[in-house]
């Protein structure tokens, strides 16, 4: 593992840092509608300055950044406290999938508005009875002339009510084995027959949604790849989701940890700063050790990818460790606040504006999204440790 940067990479960092100093993102609004407007403005600014979709090839409007440059980009964005990009699903999954499997006409039509946040994308994969076992999905699409007619329901669709396009997995051949007969469609979220209902999460946020499709017509021209060949494309999509996340995840948890330590220095318990309590100190030290461990694990898998190994099943170890570590870290934050941790965002006396209880509640989803902990443990057992398959 070589942790030094080449002169070009240093140059990339200097340029980006200078741009961020001239263009600070500013504080994130609390209200989701306002946050979406803010997120679109921020992504648009990045796009205009050539800092959006940096991993995409230049011919499609990206910057053709190397993996190390992508890591530098994430580090600098975390340092500048920049928000997650509003079109994250489109940028990390939709764009790369279109570039790999889309027709020229589809690339011309969709890539630029996606990059510029003129059109927001969402991911319509999960259903009430198809999450971990995604291939069990039941949403049907039947060809009628030049259109597919879609009927069914998706759930947990992040940002669906702000989305213009949905990466939609549908069953087009109900008689085929379950991994076949699935097609990847790009559905217009403004089509007649699409109903989006927000779901309120335990954290109070409402970025999840249920999406109902009732006789929704999707042109055949919006098939990505081939009809009944959607499973392979879905897998590529999820690989993109997993491959690019490890680095930003560990930076995100590290930022919350630094914030927590700052808070613990100033927060008084029994007339002393919370950080002077030996039990709190021990938990904070453990969190710092785990944070360093995930950082170096992320670097190790980066090195493997740079040497041509590609992200393998070890990614499951990282995802598992990171998500559970992040939850432990936020439990420590709540222990530091003590009984005050019960005061949520919006409460006048909530310490740190209720940020830690909010992050704690939000972090519950981290052991579910992008493959639950149980599913990751199965992968580690079978594909890393070579244990026999469970029944």
Ligand X SMILES: Cc1cc2nc3c(=O)[nH]c(=O)nc-3n(C[C@H](O)[C@H](O)[C@H](O)COP(=O)(O)OP(=O)(O)OC[C@H]3O[C@@H](n4cnc5c(N)ncnc54)[C@H](O)[C@@H]3O)c2cc1C
Nearer to ligand X, 71 or 245 (CB): 245
CA distance 55 to 200: 33
Mask: binding to ligand X, 322-361, rule CB under 6 A, as x and -?
----------------------------------------
**Residues 288 to 317 in contact with ligand X, rule: CB under 6 A:** none
| 204 makes contact with ligand X (CB under 6 A) | no
Nearer to ligand X, 258 or 374 (CB): 374
Local structure of 81: helix, strand or coil? coil
Nearer to ligand X, 157 or 301 (CB): 157
CB of 374 to ligand X, least distance (A): 3
| 153 makes contact with ligand X (CB under 6 A) | no
Nearer to ligand X, 308 or 386 (CB): 386
Question: What DSSP line would sit under 321-333, residue for residue?
Answer: HHHHHHHHHHHHH
Q: Which of 42, 156, 184, 247 binds ligand X (CB under 6 A)?
A: 156
Nearer to ligand X, 122 or 330 (CB): 122
Handedness of CA 314, 319, 324, 326 (dihedral sign): positive
314-319 own/partner pairs: CB under 8 Å, 24+ apart: 314/384, 315/242, 315/243, 315/246, 316/371, 316/376, 316/379, 316/380, 316/383, 316/384, 317/376, 317/380, 317/384, 318/246, 318/294, 319/242, 319/245, 319/246, 319/370, 319/371, 319/376
Nearer to ligand X, 157 or 316 (CB): 157
Mask: binding to ligand X, 126-145, rule CB under 6 A, as x and -?
x----xx-------------
CB of 25 to ligand X, least distance (A): 22
Q: Quick one: which segment of 250-258, 305-313, 314-322, 366-374 binds ligand X (CB under 6 A)?
A: 366-374
Max intra-chain CA distance, the chain: 75
CA distance 360 to 98: 35
CB of 35 to ligand X, least distance (A): 16
Local structure of 303: helix, strand or coil? helix
CA distance 83 to 326: 18
Q: Using CB atoms, what's the residue nearest to ligand X?
A: 131
Question: What DSSP line would sit under 289-301, residue for residue?
Answer: HHHHHHHHHHHHH
Q: Pick the catalytic residue from 76, 127, 241, 314.
A: 241
Q: 140 pairs with which residues across the strands?
A: 151, 171
Q: Which of 297, 305, 365, 382 binds ligand X (CB under 6 A)?
A: 365
Q: Which of 75, 372, 381, 382 binds ligand X (CB under 6 A)?
A: 372
170 in Cβ contact with 141 (< 8 Å): yes
Q: Which of 43, 123, 253, 301 binds ligand X (CB under 6 A)?
A: 123
Q: Which of 67, 344, 368, 380 binds ligand X (CB under 6 A)?
A: 368
Q: Quick one: which segment of 64-72, 152-160, 192-200, 218-226 binds ligand X (CB under 6 A)?
A: 152-160
380 in Cβ contact with 372 (< 8 Å): no
Q: Quick one: which segment of 174-182, 244-252, 268-276, 368-376 binds ligand X (CB under 6 A)?
A: 368-376
| CA distances, 226 to each of 186, 215, 218 (Å) | 13, 22, 15
Question: What DSSP line would sit under 239-290, residue for residue?
Answer: HHHHHTHHHHHHHHHHHHHHHHHHHHHH-EETTEEGGGSHHHHHHHHHHHHH
CB of 196 to ligand X, least distance (A): 12
Active site residue 241: yes
Nearer to ligand X, 293 or 380 (CB): 380
| 84 makes contact with ligand X (CB under 6 A) | no
| 68 makes contact with ligand X (CB under 6 A) | no
| CA distances, 55 to each of 71, 76, 89, 165, 263 (Å) | 10, 15, 14, 21, 35
Q: Which residues bind ligand X (CB under 6 A)?
A: 122-126, 131-132, 156-158, 365, 368-369, 372, 374-375, 378
Active site residues: 241
């Amino acid at each position: 593992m070589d942790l030094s940067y080449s002169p070009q990479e240093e140059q990339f960092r200097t340029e980006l840092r200078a741009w961020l100093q001239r263009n600070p993102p500013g504080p994130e609004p609390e209200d989701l509608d306002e946050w979406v407007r803010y997120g679109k403005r921020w992504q648009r600014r990045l796009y205009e300055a050539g800092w959006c979709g940096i991993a995409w090839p230049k011919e499609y409007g990206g910057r053709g950044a190397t993996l190390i440059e992508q890591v530098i980009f994430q580090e600098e964005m975390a340092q500048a406290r920049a928000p997650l990009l509003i079109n994250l699903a489109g940028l990390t999954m939709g764009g790369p999938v279109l570039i790999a499997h889309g027709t020229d006409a589809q690339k011309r039509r969709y890539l630029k508005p996606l990059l510029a946040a003129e059109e927001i994308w969402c991911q319509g994969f999960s259903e009430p009875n198809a999450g971990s076992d995604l291939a069990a999905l039941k949403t049907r699409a039947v060809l009628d002339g030049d259109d597919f007619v879609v009927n069914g329901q998706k759930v947990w669709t992040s940002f669906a009510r702000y989305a213009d396009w949905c990466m939609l997995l549908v069953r087009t051949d109900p008689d085929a084995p379950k991994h076949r007969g699935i097609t990847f469609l790009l559905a217009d979220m403004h089509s007649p027959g699409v109903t989006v209902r927000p779901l309120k999460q335990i954290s109070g946020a409402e970025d999840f949604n249920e999406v109902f499709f009732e006789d929704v017509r999707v042109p055949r021209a919006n098939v990505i790849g081939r009809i009944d060949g959607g499973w392979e494309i879905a897998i590529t999509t999820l690989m993109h989701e997993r491959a690019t996340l490890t680095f930003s995840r560990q930076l995100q948890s590290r930022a919350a940890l630094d914030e927590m330590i700052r808070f613990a220095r100033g927060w008084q318990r029994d007339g002393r700063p919370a950080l002077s309590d030996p039990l709190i100190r021990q938990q904070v030290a453990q969190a710092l050790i785990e944070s360093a461990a995930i950082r170096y694990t992320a670097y190790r898998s980066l090195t493997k990818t740079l040497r041509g190994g590609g992200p393998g099943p070890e990614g499951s170890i990282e995802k598992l460790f990171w998500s559970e570590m992040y939850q432990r870290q936020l439990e420590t934050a709540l222990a530091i606040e003590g009984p005050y941790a019960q005061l949520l965002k919006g409460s006048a006396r909530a310490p740190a504006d209720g940020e830690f209880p909010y992050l704690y509640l939000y972090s519950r989803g981290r052991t579910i999204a992008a493959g639950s902990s149980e599913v990751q443990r199965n992968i580690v057992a079978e594909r890393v440790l070579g244990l026999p398959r469970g029944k």
